[in-house]
Structure 1
Amino acid sequence: MLKNKVQVILSFLNKQRNMFSIGLPILVLGIFCLLMTLSNVFTETYDIERFSTAKETVRSPVTIENVEETERRTREAVQAVEDRYDISSEITQERVQYVNELFDAIHKLENSDEKAEDKIPKTIPEKAQYISQILTPELSEAMSQESIVALLNASESERSIAKELLTTSLYDVLNAGVRTENLESAVSNLKQSLRYSSLNQDVKEALYELSSFAVVENSFFDVETTMEAQKQAASNVEPVMIRAGEIIVREGQTITNEIYEKLDLVGLLNNERNIFPVIGLFLLISLICATISYELHTYSKSNNLNPGKILAIVIIIIFMVSVMKVISIYNTSMYQFFLLVPAATGAMLIKVLLNERVAIVLSALFALLGSLIFNGEIPGAFNVEAGTYMFFSQFAGSILIQNLQDKSAILKAAIGITLVNEIVILLFLFLTFESVTIPEVLIHGGFGIASAFLSVILTIGMIPYFEAGLGILSESKLLTLANPNHPLLRKILTEAPGTYHHSVMVANLSETACEAIGANGLLARVASYYHDLGKTERPHYFIENQMGIQNPHDLLEPIQSAEIIIRHPYDGAMLLKKHKIPKEIVDIAEQHHGTTLLKYFYYKAKDKYLDVKEDAYRYAGPKPQTKEAAVICICDSVEAAVRSLQEPTMEKIEEIVYSIIKDRLNDGQLNECPITINELHVIRRTICETLAGIFHSRIQYPTKQEKIKEAK
């Protein structure tokens, strides 16, 4: 019970230590990124007075509407709308009918049948008097006797011309709209159209008098139509915007009231800096740091995340952000220097030092930071082109970089990144509406090529420093250690050839099993090569190296033999440390036997002596701490056990593998590593399948003696 509580406490403390080891560097990283990008959200303020001279050219840091200017233009547009009037067609028809009434009355009177009507007047004055009596009262009052007499004296054709001319002109005037303020001018215009006719003067005078009566107000102010027109005019006014990057005042220009108001509007005169952009930047950096922390925590569950790797992540991010910040200083709208950023360097370094997943996630975060850093220091703006270019360049790098020891693979990666860079650059050129010259295309294309090859060169150049300075075990380092010409591997081969063969077999089993559960197969293979290095100190005390000689353990006491055998993991660890072999391999060499019991010599001692302490026949540990160490622990015993079989069959092999895994589990050897029961099942199945391929069925050819017996 007490032991379980201690394990729980130790597990809790271990988690707290891991959180602290990740959290503190990420906090430092977040502060660095915040300081580096602060100028991209802050705007510089100026101490400028009205009517002074600008000492430098000032651009707007934001895109904002000039509300006052928009309102002024709206007012002008509304005021420019003319009043809308409704012309009454009823009044127009009414006034024309009055004219027709007069001429029709005269025409009817002049063409009446004298025999049929005795009361028809005969003289002109009588006719004029008669006309006045039968006309509408309004018309009768407006027309004098002289005007009617003048029309009566005119000939029929002359009256017809006068009627046609007057009604046509009256229609024109009234249809144009007659308002109170232009009534006199409308009458004057109508008289003017009559003045130059061929009619005699008396008829013209009569028409003038009739015109003064016929022309009346027929156009009235329409409130609804006018208001609708004003609304339409106001809605057609575009908002007056001050665009981000727009020049507000040039160097040497006088600060007028209008310019001063613009400077004040965009916040360039406010000495109290706006805190909101800083809050937004803080939230962005917090999300980025949280994402990095999550990825590192996820990585630590299945891989060895030591302080060196965490520090490497911090250094890489600081390096990439610093490079982007320096290049952003020289970035212009004409020459997009963000294309020159060796963006793929960060992704490739992380891919080599950690894994592809972390590299791709951090590629997206680098791209996000890049789009902020290259925003031209315009608060709230992100350079989407820069972010897109950097993401695809990094994504290509993290996918294409494989083996840094293979020079052709490195060249292929550089060419692949170049191709992706050029595709993204062409994408920008095709999407833009602006005309692009051939020299610009060549320059930007050259930037893309330089970025790709510079990224690969920096990656190759920086990897050794991370490996040596921070003790990081990368894939390239593992491949170097796996070289059979390595001094330690040659030492094992020459001094303990049986152990060398055993290590190669364990490496094959371990690599396959680790890859099956998602662990680092390459690390397991290389660590297997070195795990029994300690046997080279006393090679003949290990059975695989005893070729045709007497077993020296036959001459020793069990406790002496146990001490010699138990020493080999720690002798190997000392040799590995002496030759500066990475800590991960040293740890596996120490842990590959855990605290297991040396059963052969323990039971041999019990048969010989009564008082035998079990602890004296157990390895000192520590127990396996990683999945790779646990797999090697299992495969080491499996290989030795299967090699001892006289006639290995699949049934025997499966039984041995199962029993060894069960024994390690029951003995608590796997309690301190993050391996699951399900993964143990996968390991067991994978080991059996691999051994089946090694000890596959062969045709048993008969010996010479068997052939002789069959012949008899």
Structure 2
Amino acid sequence: MKLWGYMVEKVEESKFDFYKNKLFQQLVWGIFVFLVLALLITIDFLPDRVDLEVGQVSDNDIKAPKTIKYIDHKRTEELKEEAADAVSKVYEEDVTVLREIKKEVNHFFALVKDFRKRDSKLEIRVSNIKARTKLRLAREDYTYLLKLKLEKINNLKEDILAILVKYLTRGVKSDYLAQVKEQMKREVSKIGRSRQYNQLVKNITQQTIEPNLILDLRETRKRKERAKERIKPVKRTIHKGEIIIRHGRVVTEKDVQKLKLLGLRDPKVDYSNIIGYSVIILIMLGVIIIYIYQYHRQVLNNMSQLYLLGLLPIIILLLARLANYLPTNYPSFLVPIAAASILVAVLVDTDIAIIFTVGLSFLVAIVSDETIADIAVAMISGISGIYSVTKLSQRSDLVRAGFIVGGASSLTIFAFLLTNPVLELVSFLKIVPLGIINGVVVAIITNGLLPYVENIFGITSPVKLLELSNPNHPLLKRLLVKAPGTYHHSIIVGNLAEAAADTVEADSLLARVGAYYHDIGKIKRSYFFIENQIGDENPHDKLSPNLSTLIITSHVKDGVEMANNYKLPEVIVDIIKQHHGESLVSYFYQEAAYDDKYENVDESEFRYPGPRPQTKEAALIMLADTVEAAVRSNIAVQSNPDKLEKFVTDLIKAKLNSGQLDESDLTLKDLDKIASSFVNILKGIFHNRIEYPDNIAQQFKEGEAKNDSSN
């Protein structure tokens, strides 16, 4: 219901210009992906007419689009089973069984009679009997026997032996023992004695009866197999992909018959399979979409990521189609599913990558027409690839991920091959290396495609962000040289934003890198910003407040231009645009408002152009930027922890009250965590230091000299 409400809300937002609406774009892309996937999977079930007559020469190879058995295979099997069932089972009689059973029964009752006469305690006599017989009876049974009169004991033994001899004389077959025991139970109930008496007869006969006609499985199986062999085999099978008519061969009547059986002479659309597989695809896509909506809703609003999530399975299924033409019986083992899994994990989200891999593994198995082993290999290779890039720090880690994928795939393939005892060592040596080849292909694809995918879809990977965080990046080096104060300020803002991001579940790496570049626009006019000024001269003293404001606020526009010139990712550009939001340049606004020289001061002329921060990371950088600059300029709060905490809290509250955080995802609880994080970092930066005396160097030298002389 929530998902439906979300869709209705999006539609209501834009009844006009629907083609520009994000929901419309999402629906169109989703339908397109579904149709392409359905086509790739069900293309074998579309009609493909072959107009060949007897005597014609085939212009190309004709392959079977599906597997069929065109002779009455079912009837053939029925005939074989009937012939096998008609064969009588072969039994071998064991003449020692009756003798041994009698011996056991007589031995048991001899024990009972012997211990019946003794004067020892009942429990001791029962224990002794139990220790000397194989029979296992209840304690009340032994008590009953030891108290029973001798005559009744003899009657009991005779009744038991009579039943056992009766059935063993008839012959007890090894595979009918359970039925014989049931018959004996019914016969015992007819003896007409007391309940406990009958129960003893039943317990002892059930425990002692054994089959004396042993089924000779080997001989019986031989006779059944000989009976089956007399039935002439009529089974005929055409396998999917099998060449029915080769190029350049003259078509025979038999060939035409095969074409008819395959439905190629009078083709019909296999609607049942097409609908079935389409529903399967729809279910898998639905599960993934609902999962993303429930747990990663921000991905639905990122069309670049949605395009990537839709395009990757299409590419993988195309590769699976091509793999079917490779000279191997296991083409799915070569499909680089792990490459798609790794790209999704690096560029979108690890959790989404896992569920994406599971669904894609099943789709590839359907295309390859393979078994559970192929699904398992695909799934394990993909998930191992995802786990291997969870701490991606450089592009060479992708090569390591490829080797991990290759090892996991090979091990899985080897394990499944062990379950097939028919395969020989040569087959192992041919099939297991397919997993290693898959891993190498995955490493090549991910390393080669990642930069292009980042540029095409505008998605920034952690690897790209780590590269941008390198101090040797040309733009950061320019910032260090042209605006050293701003560079130092940006580093501290990065530390503040990164620490705060960890507390509110934001992207800490993006927050740090965004902070490094948020003020690069100050390179153009660095001397107009206080952190880069040396001495008491301030160029703003000679300018009007309006002009000063224009210069100050223009560093955002200049920063965006520089970022675009250096091809920085869009997420960094957005942070540069949003890190001041629509904040008021209060110093110059107040100067103009309270100076009689300026009339009709318009507040909007003293604000940054915006937009306001749209993400947690942009909002964190705005707050860190404000807090760092304010605390650095206020010496009074730097050495007082209580004042520092209140000062930081007031600064954050001011941004909240001015509406600058309204469009970010930060909550009030998040703001408390951010304030605490900022205060902890700032305490470390502005902690009290020990004041050393002026002659400390001289004292150190004298101390060293004394130590040298004593040594």
Please give the TM-score of this superposition, normalised by the length of structure 1: 0.66
CA shift, 1:580, in A, is 2.0
CA shift, 1:79, in A, is 12
Tell me whether 1:290 sits opposite 2:286 in the alignment. yes
Tell me whether 1:69 sits opposite 2:57 in the alignment. no
The residue number in structure 1 matching 2:683 is 692
Could you tell me which amino acid in structure 2 is paired with residue 282 of structure 1? Answer: S
The residue number in structure 2 matching 1:208 is none
- The Cα RMSD (Å) is 4.3
- Say whether the 8 Å CA contact 1:248–1:263 is kept in structure 2: no
Partner Cα separation in structure 2 for residue 620 and residue 58 of structure 1: 66
The residue number in structure 2 matching 1:313 is 309
Distance 1:545-1:299 versus aligned 2 partners, 3 A rule: farther
Tell me whether 1:422 sits opposite 2:428 in the alignment. no
Tell me whether 1:323 sits opposite 2:313 in the alignment. no
CA shift, 1:460, in A, is 0.7
Name stretches of at least 5 consecutive residues in structure 2 with no aligned partner.
1-8, 89-223, 697-711
**2:521 match: secondary structure:** helix
- Which of 626, 636, 643 in structure 1 is aligned with 2:625? 636
**2:594 match: secondary structure:** helix
- Say whether the 8 Å CA contact 1:303–1:519 is kept in structure 2: no
Deviations 1:539-585 (A, max 9, x none): 12211112224122223222222222122111211221222222211
Q: How does 1:57-96 map to 2 (within 5 A)?
A: 61=67, 69=75, 73=79
Name stretches of at least 5 consecutive residues in structure 1 with no aligned partner.
1-7, 83-232, 376-381, 707-712
**1:608 match: secondary structure:** coil
- Say whether the 8 Å CA contact 2:52–2:251 is kept in structure 1: no
Deviations 1:356-406 (A, max 9, x none): 22222221122011110110xxxxxx5322221111111111111257764
Could you tell me which amino acid in structure 2 is paired with residue 644 of structure 1? Answer: S
CA shift, 1:621, in A, is 0.9
Partner Cα separation in structure 1 for residue 81 and residue 460 of structure 2: 73
The residue number in structure 2 matching 1:599 is 586
CA shift, 1:324, in A, is 1.1
Could you tell me which amino acid in structure 2 is paired with residue 499 of structure 1? Answer: T
**1:329 match: secondary structure:** coil
Could you tell me which amino acid in structure 2 is paired with residue 283 of structure 1? Answer: V
CA shift, 1:464, in A, is 1.8
Say which structure, 1 or 2, has more relative contact order (CA 8 Å, 6+ apart).
1
- Which of 600, 603, 606 in structure 2 is aligned with 1:611? 600
The residue number in structure 2 matching 1:128 is none
- Which of 533, 536, 539 in structure 1 is aligned with 2:520? 533
**1:276 match: secondary structure:** helix
Tell me whether 1:344 sits opposite 2:338 in the alignment. yes
The residue number in structure 1 matching 2:385 is 397
- Say whether the 8 Å CA contact 1:403–1:410 is kept in structure 2: no
**1:612 match: secondary structure:** coil
Distance 1:477-1:505 versus aligned 2 partners, 3 A rule: same
Deviations 1:623-658 (A, max 9, x none): 111111111111110111221232333322321222
Aligned residues: 535
CA shift, 1:506, in A, is 0.7
**2:553 match: secondary structure:** helix
**2:506 match: secondary structure:** coil
- Say whether the 8 Å CA contact 1:60–1:242 is kept in structure 2: no
CA shift, 1:291, in A, is 3.8
The residue number in structure 2 matching 1:626 is 615
The residue number in structure 2 matching 1:469 is 456
Could you tell me which amino acid in structure 2 is paired with residue 558 of structure 1? Answer: P
Could you tell me which amino acid in structure 2 is paired with residue 339 of structure 1? Answer: F
CA shift, 1:289, in A, is 2.8
- Say whether the 8 Å CA contact 1:249–1:255 is kept in structure 2: no
**2:21 match: secondary structure:** helix
**1:434 match: secondary structure:** coil
- Say whether the 8 Å CA contact 1:404–1:460 is kept in structure 2: no
Q: How does 1:435-474 map to 2 (within 5 A)?
A: 435-438=423-426, 440-474=427-461
- Which of 553, 557, 570 in structure 2 is aligned with 1:566? 553
- Which of 28, 34, 57 in structure 1 is aligned with 2:32? 28
Could you tell me which amino acid in structure 2 is paired with residue 494 of structure 1? Answer: V
- Say whether the 8 Å CA contact 1:368–1:387 is kept in structure 2: yes
Deviations 1:657-696 (A, max 9, x none): 2212211211111222233333333322332333334344
CA shift, 1:452, in A, is 0.4
- Say whether the 8 Å CA contact 2:395–2:463 is kept in structure 1: no
Could you tell me which amino acid in structure 1 is paired with residue 67 of structure 2? Answer: P
CA shift, 1:594, in A, is 0.6
Q: How does 1:212-231 map to 2 (within 5 A)?
A: none
More deviation, 38-47/625-634: 38-47
**2:362 match: secondary structure:** helix
CA shift, 1:13, in A, is 4.4
Partner Cα separation in structure 1 for residue 42 and residue 584 of structure 2: 61
- Say whether the 8 Å CA contact 1:371–1:386 is kept in structure 2: yes
Partner Cα separation in structure 1 for residue 40 and residue 275 of structure 2: 15
More deviation, 58-67/597-606: 58-67
Please give the TM-score of this superposition, normalised by the length of structure 2: 0.66
- Which of 478, 483, 486 in structure 2 is aligned with 1:496? 483
CA shift, 1:305, in A, is 5.5
- Say whether the 8 Å CA contact 2:57–2:251 is kept in structure 1: yes
Tell me whether 1:649 sits opposite 2:608 in the alignment. no
Partner Cα separation in structure 2 for residue 320 and residue 556 of structure 1: 62
CA shift, 1:295, in A, is 5.5
The residue number in structure 2 matching 1:146 is none
Distance 1:243-1:506 versus aligned 2 partners, 3 A rule: farther
**2:489 match: secondary structure:** helix
Distance 1:77-1:424 versus aligned 2 partners, 3 A rule: closer
Q: How does 1:140-539 map to 2 (within 5 A)?
A: 245=239, 271-294=267-290, 297=293, 301-302=297-298, 306-330=302-326, 332-333=328-329, 336-375=330-369, 383-401=371-389, 406=394, 409-438=397-426, 440-539=427-526
